Amino acid sequence: MNYLLVLPKDSAKSSGGYNVFPVGIAYVSAYLKSKGHSVFTANLEFFKESTHDALRHLIETHAIDVLGTSGLSRDYMMLKALIDTARSIKPELRIVLGGGIISGDPMPAMIALKADIGVIGQGEITMHELATALDNNLSYEEIPGLIFKSGVRYITTSPRQEVKNLDDLPFPDYDGFSFPKYMRQINYDAAYIIASRSCPLKCTFCFHPSGDKYRKRSLDNIFQEIDYLVDTYHPKALIVSDELFAPKRDRVIEFCKRIAKYKISWSVQLRVCDVDEEMLNIMRDSGCVTISYGIESADDRILFSMAKKITRAQIDRALELTYAAGIDIQGGLIFGDAAETMETVNNSLKWYDENIHYGLELNMINIFPGTGLYNNAITRGILKDRVKFLTDGCPLINVSNLSDQEYRDLSSNLYERNMRAKYEPHAMEINNIQDDGNCTISMICNRCGHVSSVKTDNMHIHRTTCRKCKQRYYLDPFKKIAHRQLPDNDFEQYERVILWGAGELCIKLLDQYPAFQNEKFIVVDSSKSRQGYSVCGKQIFPPSYISEHNVGTAILTVVRRKEEILRQLAAFPGITSIYLPQTAKIDDTHAEFYLGRI
């Protein structure tokens, strides 16, 4: 049998916008190859051809019998497009699906995606045993960790035991999934490594697709892989992407001693209750530039309800010490826990506003299959159709003590706050403006006075840190450029005009141009998770609004997905005028924003 392990296009942009290298499928590939299976790999992110053309070439050239892919629950649409395309090319192709989308709640995922076989939990050994059975035309009904359809019902085999000794696994198949291109083009010359699997905690909003038991690799094994990454790919930074790097101080200190000689910046995830001043200073001196903390709430009642096993006092102490050590802080607050009330919401938001200098995020809790809150929603009858929930993209659902109106208002409020710059330098200038809309922003750090510059485009918020003290900033060049008057004549003739995309640029337009508050301007978004909510006081509608109300004019407010949205707009022949946000260079330090007709 010939196996093709493939990552879909846009997989680098999945997982909530975090550009994390998909190391899970790379581990599976490496393990299969180490056992002698005939394995081909592809990361379609870096194929110029369409998904159909790329898959057809791969399937036909290598006579592929089995296609394997993986993803998270939020990746449903991306995985469906890949699987449907593969089926159209070769209907008899066996489709094997793994990752969190299967492990979280196997049955709905199998029904929705119509895969032949699902791999539950860690995939290395399970895929090897499955491939051995397929290669020899043997039954796989007794292989642990599988779900498959037999007749009209699905069969789930016994659970797969977790890999106890992670050192026994080969290093991920980096080259098989275009890691050099991934690192250079997407992840800013940073390499990823997993030093442990799972987490010893069971927070209600979290799910551990790699198993329930926390296991860690030996430092010797970790540094063998780091040596390989440094010697082969020459990264400028290393991201330890564990759910929890180390609950014990000694392991962190020993890691610092060993990583220091590489002279490489590195980032890690820790718990607020596990750090102290001395440890943080040692981490900083060894090259640590960012620590991600699971903060989640500033109300002790919610932290208890979430099973976080931390307190607000511990959060305050850890953030103060980390900030003082000059290490960037990554983290945020999430709202909508089962115990959430307007009182707990306001407590957390008050704390957030008092600590704005940390640059934290604000989000609603997304409830995903496999989490405690997901099971809670099913038990309480809030989530009735698990398949539809998955195919709808796991939209927000209210399991809290907030009324539905309070929940919607809070979601809209947090969404808007996240789309605006949270903490900005007092002094910021735009220079070196290019014809393509890119520019350089020079800033003076509020905290230490250091002068630095970053390159970005002139329409979107850019997150950066001071190179000297690691103070986090959100730079918004859009505020600094001139704005042309709206082309009113073009819009007056239409009864309705849609703004497609309820994101950052949409909010900027609604803030900048009072005319857009007129009821004739309608916000549309294809994401079901946003539909029904509001942005800047305007309700967000699905694209079907266009044909239902004979809309003739569209303004694209998601320019980074212009081609994708134009393809979607092509389904609405009534749209005859399309405008795109653009900037025109005036000189090296000045640009003008306008809406250009395309």
Specify the pLDDT at position 18: 43
- Report yes or no: 584 and 590 within 8 Å, Cβ to Cβ: no
How many secondary structure helices (H) and strands (E) does the chain include? 20, 29
Helices (H), 402-532: 404-418, 488-492, 504-512
Token couple for 343: 């009182």
| Residue indicated by tokens 């929603």 | 377
3-class SS string, 477-494: HHHHCEECCCCHHHHHCC
Q: Mean pLDDT of successive 10-residue segments in the chain (598 residues)?
A: 93 51 93 98 92 96 98 93 97 97 97 97 97 97 96 94 94 94 79 92 91 91 98 94 90 97 96 97 97 97 98 98 96 98 98 95 96 97 97 94 96 91 89 89 94 90 91 90 72 87 93 90 91 93 94 90 86 92 90 89
Query: How much helix, strand and coil, in percent to the nearest 5, is found in the chain?
Result: 40, 25, 40
The end-to-end CA distance of the chain, in Å, is 50
Give the number of other CB atoms < 10 A from CB of residue 202.
Answer: 14
Q: Distance (Å, rounded) from C-alpha 227 to C-alpha 488?
A: 61
Token couple for 403: 């009324």
Cβ-based burial of 508 (10 A; exposed 0-12, middle 13-18, buried ≥19): buried
Task: Report the candidate in 567, 557, 578 with the shortest Cα–Cα distance to residue 50.
Answer: 567
Specify the pLDDT at position 561: 79
- Report yes or no: 310 and 302 within 8 Å, Cβ to Cβ: no
Give the number of other CB atoms < 10 A from CB of residue 209.
Answer: 23
Q: Distance (Å, rounded) from C-alpha 107 to C-alpha 88?
A: 23
Token couple for 77: 């649409």
Task: Report the candidate in 35, 340, 371 with the shortest Cα–Cα distance to residue 201.
Answer: 371
540: three-class secondary structure by DSSP: strand
> In the chain, how long is the greatest CA-to-CA distance?
71
In DSSP terms, 465 is beta-bridged to 472
Sequence-ordered list of residues with C-beta below 8 angstroms from that of 128, at least 6 positions apart, any chain: 31, 32, 35, 37
Q: Distance (Å, rounded) from C-alpha 442 to C-alpha 359?
A: 19
The DSSP string of 157-208 is: -PPPPPPS-GGGSPPP-TGGGTHHHHHHHTSTTEEEE--EES-S---TT---
Q: Distance (Å, rounded) from C-alpha 295 to C-alpha 355?
A: 13
- Report yes or no: 143 and 133 within 8 Å, Cβ to Cβ: yes
Token couple for 530: 């946003």
Angle formed at CA 18 by CA 445 and CA 273, multiple of 5 degrees: 70
| Residue indicated by tokens 């995606």 | 113
pTM: 0.90
Q: Residue 109: which H helix or E strand, with range? A: helix 106-113
Structural domains of the chain in order of their starting residue, each with its CATH number: 2-156 (3.40.50.280), 188-356 (3.20.20.70), 427-480 (no CATH), 482-597 (3.40.50.720)
Q: Give the type of residue at 49.
A: E
